[in-house]
Structure 1
Amino acid sequence: MIEVKEVSKQFEDKTVLSNISATFEAGKTNLIIGRSGAGKTVLLKCIIGLIAPTTGRVFYDGRDITVMGEKELKLLRREVGMLFQGSALFDSMTVMENVMFPMNMFSNDKLAVRRERAARLLHRVGLSDAKYKYPSEISGGMMKRAAIARSLALEPKYLFCDEPNSGLDPKTAIVIDDLIYSLTQEHGITTVVNTHDMNSVKTIGDKIIYIRHGQKEWEGSSATIDSSDCTSLKNFVFAKTIEY
Structure 2
Amino acid sequence: MSTTLNIALIQSNLYWEDPVKNRKMFEDKIDTIPDYVDLIVLPEMFTTGFTMKPKNIAQSEGDGTVEWMKRMAQQYNVAMVGSIIFLENGKFFNRLYFVPPVGTLEIYDKKHTFTLAGEDEVYEAGKEKLIFEYKGFSICPMICYDLRFPVWSRNTEDYDVLIYVANWPKKRINAWDTLLKARAVENMAYCIGVNRIGTDGADFEYPGHSAVYDVLGEPMVYSEAEEILYATLDKAHIENTRKKLRFLEDRDSFNLIG
Same fold? TM cut 0.5: no
More helix by share: 1
More strand by share: 2
TM-score, scaled relative to structure 1: 0.35
Greater RCO, 1 or 2 (C-alpha within 8 Å, sep 6+)? 1
